[in-house]
Structure 1
Amino acid sequence: MGTAAPGYREPVTRLQFDGWILGLGTTSGTRVVLGHWARSPLGPISDVMVQRPDGHRVLLAPTEEVAAFVGSTYTFDEVRLVPVTVGRPDGTTWTVDAGPLQGRVRTGPRPALGRLLHAVPARLARTPAWVGLLDLPARLSTGLRTKGSAGNGRTEWYGVQDLHTLTGVDARWDGEPLGALTAVRPPVTFGFGSVPPRPSVVRVMTTVQLP
């Protein structure tokens, strides 16, 4: 086998998921993180990560391909293959129907942070270099990370371009009401990344670098 020339680097594979992440807590203790991706290497997809009050982590994925990719990037105790349907019937409501989970979520205005994020040009906000620069300020101000190591040697960047707060939820798990909207406490533990403690929906470009 030949020896690589000095300075040679293996080509880097980066996959980009362009869409929204919605994160919320409920008074029952169940926390929900919805990913809705208009454009991705797997096509237009949605998936839901749920952490139950006892800490049990469940991935609701629409296909084996989505389950394999998300399950290799984050950590779950259970993976369920179920149809995942996400809608936005108007400008202020999100709906989700995913196996045991059904819900409607209402969104509110942009807070100060959302206005600041929205002011950054989208092309800049999506670049890993820019996202990496924001990692330390984000950790200091919100406790969240914009760049970090994910499962199986992968690296992720979250290029957030907009943020709206959530104002209400009506959701059920296996037919049981999950209660009123509340902070995402304790934080979810699917991987290095999390969602803001305050229930929010963010417009985001997620970049995943494969090892």
Structure 2
Amino acid sequence: MRRGITRRPRVRFDGWIAGMGTSSGTRLVLGHWQRSPFGPFSDVMLERADGERLLLAPTRETADFISGTYVFDTVRVVPVDVSITDDTWTVAAGPLDLRFVTGRRRLVGLVLRAVPGALARRPAWCALTDRPARLLLPGVRTRGTAGGGRREWYGARDLLPIRVVSAALDGAHLGAMAPVGPPVRFGFGSAPRDPAVTRVTTTVAFGSQ
């Protein structure tokens, strides 16, 4: 892990989180971060139908940080490449080939876009929105306790539905798009049950600070 990161009181990640299920029972969560303590990077968390939790991360330091915050059964360091063309996202991450297409923004997305970015990034705002988020998006939490005594806050700023998903893991197709159900068990909350891409600022505070 990059020297000094865990000595900071808090660190922030700005980008997008995409969550989706498949008819095979595998659920996937993509993190696509334009700004982070590690620079721009992307990672993928998967939970298989049998409950195995897998992390695909591009470097050892990102893998160590993420696996110190969330819980996985297997961690693999592999190249994670994401390209976005209009409404189509293409992801190549070691054994995973993923493609999904987003749809038109709905009411929740329009409301989130109206929240000023400076406000959405504040942990106090994330704490205030935790209960409404649980009611509107079952399984979603905007604050909680993570691994290693860390605390997290999620400040959402946009949300787009996912319309189409095509995914293969180790060459085996994962089936058609499905809800994120049961909820994934990487941390204290899950992705929205309905497949979606959320623009988010994630703040991580270290318990020793």
TM-score, normalization: structure 1? 0.92
Show the counterpart of 2:56: 60
Structure 2 distance, partners of 1:18, 1:60, is: 19
* Deviation of 1:193 (Å): 2.2
Worse overlay, 127-136 or 71-80: 127-136
Show the counterpart of 1:6: none
Matched, 1:104 2:138: no
Matching residue's letter, 2:42? S
Structure 2 distance, partners of 1:210, 1:109, is: 37
2:41 is aligned, of 40, 45, 50, to 45
Structure 2 distance, partners of 1:104, 1:29, is: 17
Show the counterpart of 1:193: 189
Q: SS where residue 129 of structure 1 aligns?
A: helix
Q: Percent identity?
A: 57
2:117 is aligned, of 112, 118, 122, to 122
* Runs of at least 5 residues in structure 1 that lack an aligned partner in the other structure: 1-10
Matched, 1:174 2:170: yes
Structure 2 distance, partners of 1:91, 1:121, is: 24
Root mean square deviation, CA, Å: 1.1
Max Rg structure: 1
Equivalent residues in 2 for 1:15-94, closer than 5 Å: 15-88=11-84, 90-94=85-89
Q: SS where residue 129 of structure 2 aligns?
A: helix
TM-score, normalization: structure 2? 0.93
Deviation per residue, 1:124-164 (Å, 9 max, x gap): 11111111111122223323210000001100000000000
* Deviation of 1:205 (Å): 0.3
Structure 1 distance, partners of 2:128, 2:17, is: 21
Structure 2 distance, partners of 1:174, 1:134, is: 39
Structure 2 distance, partners of 1:34, 1:113, is: 20
Matching residue's letter, 2:67? G
* Runs of at least 5 residues in structure 2 that lack an aligned partner in the other structure: 1-6
Aligned residue pairs, count: 200
1:140 is aligned, of 123, 135, 138, to 135
Deviation per residue, 1:48-106 (Å, 9 max, x gap): 00001101000001111001000000000000111110110x22011100011001100
